[in-house]
Every structure is written in structure tokens, then in C-alpha cells.
A and B are shown apart, each in its own frame.
Chain A
Amino acid sequence: MTIFNNILIYFVIIPLLTLGGLALCTNAGRGIRAIRAVAVTGATALVALAAYLVYYFVTARAAGVQDAMLLRSDVMWYEPFNIKLALGVDGVSVVMIALSAIIVFAGVFASWKMNPLPKQFFLWFFLLSTGVFGFFISIDLFTMFMFYEVALIPMYLLIGVWGSGNKTYSAMKLTLMLMGGSALLMLGIIGIYFHSAPEGSPLTMNILEIAEANAIPHSWQMYLFPLTFVGFGVLGAMFPFHTWSPDGHASAPTAVSMLHAGVLMKLGGYGCFRIAICLMPFAANELAWIFLLLTGISVVYGAFSACVQTDLKYINAYSSVSHCGMVLFAILMFNTTAMTGAVLQMLSHGLMTALFFALIGMIYGRTHTRDIQKMGGLMQIMPYLGVGYVIAGMASLGLPGLSGFVAEMTIFVGSFMHEDTFRRVLTIAGTSSIVITAVYILRVVGKLLFGPVVDEHHRQLTDATWEEKLSTATLIVCVAAIGCFPNFFVDIISGSFEPVVKALNAAM
């Protein structure tokens, strides 16, 4: 079949094969070795494939291929509704796929000593990543929605079984809120489907065709846009639908927090862009102000909330609300610069939050507390983890040379380019977050790592093991790579936005 000639499908097949491999392993005795071997092989294959995809994409674009989507292929799934497995990627999806692969890779090493039931843990872990990759490679509404659900459900079990603290409550809350978002989304997708083509033409689920036809009546757009935007916005931790995030992250095991904050939350931003904005440009223009206000609030509100938290994971969860708010904020600015900034911010936030959660998990695994008041002076005891945490913090507060700076500056400069005073004022309000971020990051770093050792028992603790070092070093290198060579990424991403921005301006 021709579809197997398309490398994109292997982003789904490799995790599925890994699932198969894991199913053959056992938890007993030396089974853990086999489990690790299978998981590492799967993750490495994904990273290699993602690297090849980036290379392929860059060379294809350099060779002058102008198609909106590359690597297209279609397979009919269900004739009556015209549902296809439609694959295709543009610059945005390519970087998202690369991000996911890296975080899956780092996540496998971060859960090296997973206990109990490592086999089942990795099974769900890879099922989740199947969903994530599937979502990014497909351009058919139905398949996208299906993969989206595949990515969400494992979260319930991963938190409920392997989590800590008030895990049943958190898992239930997270799943219910995200399912609530999905319900809105499904309504939106069905609505889009029934208006996907002009009178007389067959209906379609393919987002490229829908965007081209641009046949959704304006009155319908005004209903469907909020449904889809909020549906995805819940996952993107948009105010006031973000409260699943602090509890969910606090209870989730390390690798799950990494994957969730690193990749899953990006599904929200990606979906908002790919489905809500691209397909309904008219309503996007009309209603942008409401969501700009909400996301603008997210940015500042999340940062202020993070200032007074004492649980490391809560601090990070609120900081994610702030940073992801910036993603949605920028994506609503409808100019290439700001939207490119949004994708850079997704990359940056994904990598650096994954790094944060990995380090928090490692610290928690040693000290058995996440309360910053009960820890102090850890830099003396575990310098590797300490330095890693400082680097993650610096990336978060936007130090040049690391990814956060590049992303935030692109967003701010892009957002400020609007003639519209409302947007400019919001941008200025948003920039204030760089100071507040510095406040909470330095507060944590100062309390956790510096100063005298608070608990004498901590002196016996050890520094990072090799697999922990590998996991964090991978992420640090990626964070630095984006921060040092931003134009490489900007070139990949920005091309995808030009047609969209044109369509958006035309719809105004």
C-alpha cells in the first residue's frame, strides 16, 4: 500500500510496535531490562525518524517545494462520511513532532526506575505518545479527534495508578475537565463537517479542503469558533479552564508530567491554530478580543499565582499557565511574527517544562518532599541537578542563549506590531510577566538550591545517576540549541503562517 511509503505513518507505527514489544515483556525478575531495552529502542527510533523528518522538510523547502503540506497521502476509512486517514505536515507540525520525540526520549530515561508495574506504565506511556504523534501528522478532522482522545485517556490511568498525593481526585478532575473540552470540540467538529463544502459538493473532513472552500457561513462560525477554541483551550490551560493543571501535574508521575506539560498541552495550542483559526478566519477576527483578554489574563495571573506557591510542581503548573497563555495570546495576533513566536514558545515551554518536571521528579525522589520550605542548600548536595534547575529557571525567565528569550521576544515584538491599541496595551501588560517570572524563579532557586542546608538528612543524598543525566542533558542541549540558533527554527516555522495570515486578513 502506498501509505507505507510515507514516513509519517511510522510515527504511529513505531509506538505501536513498541507497545507490541512491551506486551511480550514481564515485570518479574530481569524483565525490567527487556522493558527498558524496548522502550529505549522505540524512543530512539522516534528521535531518529523525527531528525530525518526535519532534514527532509528543510531540504524540500530549500529545493523550492511550495506545497502547504508535505508528505501528503490519503487512505479512505469510511466512505459514507468521507473520512480518510489523511497525512501531511507543514513547518509547525514538523517542529511539534520533533519536540514530542525528544520529550518521549527524555521521558523514558526519566522513568528508568519506574515502580511498580513498569511494563504497564510504559504501555500506557507509548499509547499516549501514539495519540500525540497521530494528532500531529493527520490533517483530517476525524482522525485528529480520534488521536486526540487516544492521547487523553491514558492520562487518567497514568496519574490514577502511578501518581502521588491526592491522585484519584486529580486524575478524575483532569480527565473530566479535558473530556468536557472534548465534548465542545466534538460539537464544533461536527458543525464544521456539515458546512465543510459549498452547497452541492460532497462534505469533507480534510482541513486543507475545508480551509480552501471556506464555506462555513459566518453566522455558524460565530458558534463553532468558540466551541473549538475553548475545547482546545482547556488543554492549553486557558484561564479560567486551567485548574486541572496544578492538581494534575502535582499528582502525576515525573514522565507523565513531562509528557503532559511538554507535549499534550501543545495539542491545545496547535489545535486552536490548525482547526479553530485556520478554518474559521471570519469568526477568529471577530471574536479574537475575547480570547485575547482571557489569554492575556492567563499570562499575568499565572505568573502572580506562581509567586506564592510553595509546592515545586504547583509553581511550575502556574508558570505553565502563564507561558501557555502566551502561546494562545500570540496565536491570536494574526501576524507571522507573533504566530511564529507562539510556536517557538510551544517548543521552548515544552522542553523547559519537561526539564523542570524531570528535575522536580528527581529531587522529589530523593528528598520525598516538594515543599520548598522544607528544602534548602541542595546545590551543595546535588550540584548536577542544581545546575540543571538553574538552567531551566534561566530558560523560563528568558535568558538570551536559551529558548525562552527567543520565543518571548518574537511574541512581544510581533504582538506589538499591531496598529490596534487594544492589542498593544495587552502586549505591554503581557511583557510585565518577564519581571514576575524572574521573581518566582529566583525565589525558588534561592530557597531550594542556595542558602544553608535546611534538613541535615539531605546531606546523605546522592547526585544524578547516568540515566537522569542523559535525560536532562538532552533537554538542556535542545533548549540551548533553540536559544543559540533561532533562525533555523524560525525559517521552518514562519513559512507555514504566511498563507494563514493572508486568509485571516482577507476575512477581516
Chain B
Amino acid sequence: MPFSYSIAVVALPLLMFLVLGLLDDRLGRRTAGVIGTVAMLVTTVLAYGVALTYFFGTGQGQIVDGIRQTVTVWNPAWLTFTEDLVVRMGIALDPIAAMMLVVITTVSLMVHLYSLGYMSNHEGEPEKGYQRYYAFLGLFTFSMLGLVVATNIFQVFIFFEMVGVSSYLLIGFYYTSPAAVHASKKAFIVTRLADLFFLLGIMILSFYTRTFDFESLVGTGGVAASGALGSAHGGTFMGISIMAWALTFIFIGGAGKSAMYPLHIWLPDAMEGPTPVSALIHAATMVVAGVYLVAKLFPLYVLEQGAMDVIAVVGAFTAFYAAAIACTQSDIKRALAFSTISQIAFMMTSLAVSSSDGALIEIHGGYGLGYMASMFHLFTHAMFKALLFLCAGAIIHAVGSNENSAMHGLHKHMPITSIAFLIGCLAIAGIPPFAGFWSKDEILVACYAKGLGWGLWMTMVAGLTAFYMFRLYLLIFFWSDHKQHGHHAPADAHWTMTVPLIILAAISVVAGFVPAHDMVTCDGKPLHTQLDWTVAGSSVLVACLGIGLAWRLYYKENDAPERMKAAASGLWTAAYHRFYMDELYQFITHKVIFQCVSKPIAWFDRKVIDGTMNLMGTVTQYCAAMVRPLQSGKVQAYVLTYLIGALVLAAALIACVLI
């Protein structure tokens, strides 16, 4: 069986979770970390082997007639619903799965290594939950790998839940802090709400197509299997085709994980978790699960333009919305979180602009550029965003605060971190030759092909991206001299933490040269792309404008930012408070659901339903109390009753005789 060793890629992290989780304290702190990291290293090597063989090897069924195939390695039945509907737990390799294997294992390995140093102490004391932390990392890595190699949509759903719970456990890692507990709860419940829609989408989709399997749903090589979908077509509900409903619901599921507006509110709060976790889960891997899901079902979405339009609009709006908020945040992790939301929205939009009127748009003689660009951006973004988060972790570690007011002027103290962060910023801003330029440029080309408006809007957001990233960078590393708060001066961290930074920075420089257009395309055939100079030139220009503005405002301490803030105070405050979405949710959950639904129901239960039962009891007792005096046991009373009865009967008898 080709690729049979890919089972080990998924199984090893699970094994690590079980071993580290069950042994827990019986294992030394350092031992647990080292075991976890080494296991992850092995997993990474194997995953690279799988991915490289899949992309560049031959003879194992990867390419048939020039079209990249899905290779199903393993697919046993797990849960049988009916003869048709069987949930399988399997491993299937297709271009995006292979690419995701590389992304997940790379970032996970870097995070494992980085955490050896970062997690060694917590607020000055040795971290107690070190073993638990590595166990959870293993669980998350397993879930995420299981998700991307899924052979059917139900398996994706299962692992959606699994990554959700690992994210819950890791956000709430510092479980003694109420903020972390609250954030983890919020993340879980918001994504659960989205998963509910995902489930409904699956139920509708599988009801009509009679299958969960991707292979029958979308076919190999991205050609929609019209057979499965044929029967489903034609049915409508409220004037919209059933399939569009199902696909939109599935998108909502993905939007929950990928933090699309208005389901994004959990992600900024999720930053309460340890920073390496934010890098792994909330920047590079789990949050792109929604994009991955839409990409997996891409051929179906193409057929349903309605669903595609929903994605495009939500994506384009979220990209701008999150970027605007990112411009005002003072907590560096939260600023990066909004940046992540915005970048994921780029990927979503890119997928959605690939088609119009139910067919793919042709660009330079090829189809599905948006799809390819989206996947490419997913890859590059994972690398540079993980880099940025890990840098943020090093900074937070050094100064002991998340607020950029506590930082300023760190460039002199932490040169390596500063350069790594700069590389990340250049990459995300889209400056050539860094990774982000190549992928973002293709996204913009796809957007322009859809319509001028789409292109201009996304270019504007790209400019905004450059601005807020450099605002962040300059406020952390320049602005003024560093005012020391802690006991010792901030410095670059231990090698376990700087090595991952250097590796990821190197990847962020070169990742743009990966020939994604040959590898990850929606029809399995290599896609011909060429640099569109007008688009590339204008996007670089806009990015430079953004950087220039940031430089002008934030390089040296001055009062221009304050004046700007004062000039647009309403807008600024609204953006700083994330346009009050959290307050809205708070209102809905606490005031509406708790006070207006749950409380009345509980009251109704106690007072009305239980009241009725108690009433029955009381009435019975009351009746009993009424009857009881008759059986008093007093002979006189009995005789009296007897006499009265006899007299009444006698009287009745006499009356009858007389009348």
C-alpha cells in the first residue's frame, strides 16, 4: 500500500497525548518536553516524506494522465448509519492535504521546540502543567492532522470538534485565571454554534446525496461528480436551492473556526492562552480549518453561486473590518489576532472570487487561480504568522506584559527578535521578495478578474495591513528608548526560542518561491500563472504607502497619533472596542438567553409543572383531612352517626309510605 506510513504521521501525536497525559506527573518536566518534541520531530520528518513523495514522486498513483489524484491510504468504517451512510476514519492524500501536513507539522514542531523554553516557568515559578501542556499539544496536532487527511465530510466534522476541544483546553491552560476560563468557554461555545450549522449542512447534504465521502461528492481531480449531486439539484427551500442552503450552512461551520464576522469574537479572547499555542492554533492551523473545508468542497461551491457570493461578501467585509480594528489595538497579541482574522478573510475571499455564474473564471487561460492563491496564501501565512506570534511570545517573555506601552525601543535589546519580526511584517505587508507578496499578489489578480471593485477593495485592505503591521513593529521596537520595568533588561531569549524564530524567518523569506501553481490547483493540473505587473506594482505601492505612513507616525515619539486619535475619536473608540460586537453577544447570551429563556423555563418547571404535582398531593391530603374525622375511633360519635342515619332512613321510609 503506497503511503502506508502516513498512518504513523497521525498516530504518533495521538500516542504522545496518551503517554504524556496518562503518565502526567510521573514523568519529569524536562523528559516530557523532550519526548514530545522528539516525537514531533519524527512526525515532521515522516510528514515531509509523505508530502514530498506525493508532490514529486511517481508511481504511487499520485498522477494519472497528468492530473493529480487523491490517494486513499486507509479507509475503514467507523460508524454505520445506513448502508449508504457510513462514517469512515481514513487517510486520503490530495494536494491540499499534503500541503497542510507540511504546514501543521512544521509549525507544530517549531512550537514544541519553542515551548521548551517559553513554558519552563510561569510568573517566575516553574510551570506545574508542563506535562499536561505537551499532552494537549499532541492532542491538538493529532486532531488537526486527522482533519486534513479526512476522506469524508463527517470525519472533518469529528475532527472539527476535536480541534475545538483541544483549543478549549489550551486556551484555558492557565485555568486558575478567570479570564482564561472565560475565554476558553467563549471560544468553545461560539465555535460550537457554528458547528451546529455545519452539522445541519452535513445532514442536508448527505440526505440528498446519500454519501459523506469526498470522493463521491466532488470526485478526484476536482471534477464535481454530478451523479451524487444530480438528485439533489432542483429542490428548493424558500426560493433558494437546497444545495445552496447546505453549502452555506457548512460555510458557517467553517466561518466559526476561521473567525469570520460575526463569529470572530472568540479569537481575540483566545489570546489568553500561552503564546506558542496562539501561534500554532490561533494563527497557523486551526483557524484555517474553515478555509480548508470550503476548499475541499470547492467544486460543489462553484456550482452554487449563491453560497459562493455569501462567502465572498463575508470574506471581503471581514478582511476590512478586522484590519480596521487591528490599527487601534494596543495589546500586541490582540493586534496580531485581528490581523489573522483579516488574512484568513483574504483566503476565503480568494476562494469565492474564483467563480461567477456557476463557472470558474478564466485568467491567462487557466481556471481557479483564486483557489490556488488561497491555498498558497494559507501556506505562506501560516509560516509568517507563526513567526510573528513566536516573536511576540519572546517579547512578552522579556518584558512581562502584552501592552505595547510597556515595550518601545526593544530593537537595541532584542536584535534577533527584531529582525525576525521585521521579516514577518514585510512578508505580511506583501513586499517582494518575501513570501506574502507572491501569494497576496495572486489573490489580488483573482479579485480583479472577478471585478474591479473587488480588486480595489482588497488592495485597500492590503495597504491597511502594511500600515497596522508596521505601526505594531515600530511601537514595539522603536518609538522611544526602552523604559525598564522588570528586574533585568530584556534580551533575546534562550536558543530553544530563538532557533524556531530563525527557521521560520528563513521560511518566510523563501516560501514565496514554492511552485504552488504546479502543485495545489482545483483541477489537479498545473496552472499557468504570470506576474501581473499592474496588480503587483499597485499593491506594492499601496503597501509602501501604508508602511510610509506608519513610519511617519510611529518611528519616533511624537504627538501625531494622539492628534489623529482625537480628530476621529468616535471612530477610533469604536474600533478600539471592536465595534461593540462583544457587548452585543454578551447582551444576547446573558440578557436574552439566560434571563428571558432559561430563567422563565426553570421558573415554569418549578412553579407550574411541579406545582401541579404538588397541588395533586395537597388536594389528596386535604380530602383525606376532610374524611379523617369520620374515622375518629370515638364510640359515641359512631353511635350518634348511626342514630342520625337510622332516623333519616326511617323518616325517608315513612315519607315514602305516606306519599
Using a CB–CB cutoff of 8 Å, the interface residues on chain A facing chain B are 173, 176-177, 240, 242-244, 301, 304-305, 307-309, 336-337, 377, 379-380, 394, 397-401, 405-406, 409-410, 412-414, 416-417, 427-428, 431-432, 434-435, 438-439, 442-443, 446, 449-452, 486-487, 490-491, 494
Contact = CB atoms under 8 A, between A and B. Distances in A.
B176 A452 contact: yes
B23 to A, nearest CB: 14
Contact of B599 (A244, A308, A337, A487): A308
B568 interface: no
B185 to A, nearest CB: 5
Given A414-B81, A434-B192, A240 B609 contact: yes
A302 B605 CA distance: 9
Contact of B188 (A177, A401, A438): A438
Contact of B175 (A243, A244, A399, A451): A451
Interface stretch (B198-206, B291-299, B478-486): B198-206
B175 A307 contact: no
Nearest to A247: B610
Given A379-B175, A431-B200, A409 B79 contact: yes
Given A431-B199, A431-B200, A449-B175, 18 more contacts: A177-B613, A240-B609, A301-B605, A304-B601, A304-B602, A305-B601, A307-B598, A380-B176, A400-B162, A401-B162, A409-B154, A410-B79, A413-B203, A416-B203, A432-B196, A435-B193, A451-B181, A490-B80
A451 B178 contact: yes
A240 B181 CA distance: 35
B182 A446 contact: yes
A486 B80 CA distance: 8
A405 B161 contact: yes
Given A409-B79, A450-B172, A487-B79, A305 B193 contact: no
B602 A308 contact: yes
B594 A307 contact: yes
B82 interface: yes
B598 A487 contact: no
B189 A442 contact: yes
Interface in B198-228: 199-200, 203-204, 206-207
Interface string B153-184: 01000110110010010001001111001100
B180 to A, nearest CB: 8
B45 interface: no
B389 to A, nearest CB: 24
B78 A486 contact: yes
Contacts of A413: 81, 85, 203, 206
B77 interface: yes
B130 to A, nearest CB: 14
A397 to B, nearest CB: 8
A274 B189 CA distance: 38
- Most chain B CB within 10 A, of A377, A450, A494, is at A450
A428 B203 CA distance: 10
Contacts, number: 118
B162, B177, B594, B613: residue with the most chain A Cβ atoms closer than 10 Å: B613
B597 interface: yes
B234 interface: no
A450 B181 contact: yes
Given A412-B199, A413-B85, A438 B613 contact: no
Nearest to A406: B79
B613 A490 contact: no
Closest 10 CB pairs of A and B: A450-B175, A400-B158, A307-B598, A450-B181, A243-B610, A486-B79, A308-B598, A438-B192, A442-B185, A416-B203
A486 B612 CA distance: 42
A450 B176 contact: yes
A349 B70 CA distance: 39
Contacts of B597: 304
A310 to B, nearest CB: 10
Given A431-B199, A451-B181, A173 B176 contact: no
A31 to B, nearest CB: 37
A450 B181 CA distance: 7
B66 interface: no
B81 A337 contact: yes
A182 B154 CA distance: 42
A452 B178 contact: yes
A4 B77 CA distance: 40
Contacts of B188: 438, 442
A432 B584 CA distance: 21
A337 B81 CA distance: 6
B239 interface: no
B77, B177, B605, B609 pick with most chain A CB within 10 angstroms? B605
A487 B78 contact: yes
Interface string B77-119: 1111110010100000000000000000000000000000000
Contacts of B200: 428, 431
Query: Interface centre among A417, A434, A439, A490, by most B CB within 10 Å?
Result: A439
Contact of B176 (A377, A409, A417): A377
A275 B47 CA distance: 55
B230 interface: no
A179 B85 CA distance: 42
A450 B172 CA distance: 9
A405, A449, A451: most-surrounded residue (chain B CB, <10 A): A451
Contacts of B154: 409
Contacts of B570: none
Contacts of A434: 192, 195-196, 199
A438 B593 CA distance: 14
B594 A308 contact: yes
Nearest to A244: B613
B633 interface: no
B365 interface: no
A305 B207 CA distance: 32
Contacts of A176: 617
A243 B613 contact: yes
Contacts of A449: 175
Interface string B581-608: 0000000000001100111011001000
Contact of B79 (A173, A308, A490): A490
